[in-house]
Structure formats: C-alpha cells, structure tokens
Amino acid sequence: MRLARLRFTLQKYLRLYYAFFKASFVADLEFRANFITRIITDVIWYGAQIFTFEVLFLHTNKLGDWNVDQTRVFLGIVFVVDAFYMIMFHDNLDRMNTSIRKGDLDLLLVKPVSSQFMLSCQRISTAMIGNLGIGTAWLIWSIAQLPDVQWINLLWLLLLLPCGVLAVYCLRFLFSASALIFTQAESVMYLWYQIYRLGLRPDSIYVPWLRFAILTIMPVGFIASVPARAILEPASYGLFAWVLLWTVGLMIFTSWLWQLGLKKYSSASS
C-alpha cells in the first residue's frame, strides 16, 4: 500500500515537473534574444574560469594536488554541476525572497503539492541546456587528455554529480528560506555567493580547517572537488559514502527546517 502511494506521488511530481519544463521552454522561446544571450553569458563565464587557471599554471606546475590537465577535469565538473543547478533551480531560488515577501507563497500553500517543490521547480531555465552540452564536451575532452585515466571510474560520477547538484540546491534553499524570518534577505545571499565560490576551486588549495568546513559544515566541496577525485585519484570509498549520507541528511534537514519555518510564517497579507 505504501509502495503504491509512493509510486503515485512520484508519478504526480514527475508529470508536474514535465509540465513545468514544457511551459518554461515555450516561454524561453518567446524571447529568443534573451535565450541566446544567457548561453553566451555563461560561455564567457566558462572562458573566464579557464583563462584564470591557465594563467596560474604559467607560473606553477601544480595547484594544490593537481597539475594543469587534472585541473581542467575539475573545471569540467564545475561546469556540468553548475549547468544542472542553473537549469533546475537557480531562477526559482533567485526569486524566492521576492515570492515570500510579496505573498506568492500564500498561493502555493493552498495547493495540494509541496510548497518547497513548487518554489524550487516552477521555472526551468531551458536556455542553460546548451551550456550543459558545452560543459559536458569540455569535461570529456579534458578527461581524454589524461595519460592514465581509468574510464571505469567515470561510473562514480553517476553518484557524485547528483550529490553535488543536490548539495548546492539544499544550501541555497536554506539561505533563500531565511526570508521567512528576515523578509528582506538580500544581504544574506551575499554570504551564500562567497561560500559558493569556495566550491569553484580545488579543495586542496585551502588551509586544513577551511577544507574541513567545505566538506562537512558547508559542503560546497561536493560540487567538483570530490567528483574530480573519483577520476583523478584512487577511489576513496569512505569519502564517497560520506558524500552520499551527508547529501541525504542535508535534504531531510532542509525539508524539516522548511516545515518548521512555515509554522512560524505569517502571511504576507496579515
């Protein structure tokens, strides 16, 4: 009985997500110039990241534990995880503070679906699918440049890449949900962007206490550092198990904290 109910719920949310995808795609195509501009903007951002590291390697042979070829793999994973996050969640969480302040949340709370799901997935950035293709192409090319790559290790990415995307989502959602308490939470988001940037650099370049923090307390190290290690280094099963368990725990904690915040939430119309 429970399995049947779970299957029905999952199918309902998948159908709803597919409907959001179609509506978002049609909306994006109505503004083709913006569609193309968003792709070009991210390509420029990708180029800036690559250029930064290429310049650094003109002055050193290693950055942390990795050489230039290994760092290119790290950047490829950054691009892929960032693209998935941008497609699925970014626009929604970027508008979450405004939705709560203006009362849009009140309308979602009366719908027979999860308010967290609606706030997180209502708008899908289909323009970023092109960026995902570019990031994936860079990742495949950079892996092919490695002299002794074990292609079987790529299977770890099937586990670690979703963990990276979900970790970013959970952390960003928690920061955005602070609008339930502060109403105006824009200043809190500046703190999030600084934390997020830590995950866009190899974890081995940081001092030990900061490296520990980005793999435990604020696990932005899950974005690319851990998945890259699955390809570039011998498999660390303990670390991978920690990533999986902490990601699941973070999702449960995020949901629990959201429900707790809703109990203290006063309607925007009150």
- What residues have CB less than 8 Å from 140, skipping those under 6 apart? 76
Domain locations in the chain as residue ranges = 2-263
β partners of residue 66: 63
Q: Is the pTM of this model over 0.85?
A: yes
Alpha helices per DSSP H over the chain: 2-30, 32-56, 68-85, 91-94, 96-102, 104-109, 115-121, 129-144, 157-176, 179-182, 186-198, 208-215, 225-232, 237-263
Tens of pLDDT along the chain (270 residues) come to 666 676 767 777 788 888 888 888 888 777 777 777 877 888 888 889 899 899 988 888 888 888 999 999 999 999 999 999 999 998 888 888 777 777 777 787 777 788 888 888 888 888 888 888 889 999 999 998 888 877 778 889 999 999 999 999 999 998 888 777 766 666 777 788 888 989 899 998 999 999 999 999 889 999 999 999 999 888 788 989 999 999 999 999 999 988 888 877 766 555
Beta carbons of 32 and 134 less than 8 angstroms apart: no
β partners of residue 63: 66
d(CA 221, CA 211): 8
How far apart, in Å, do the first and last CA atoms of the chain sit?
A: 40
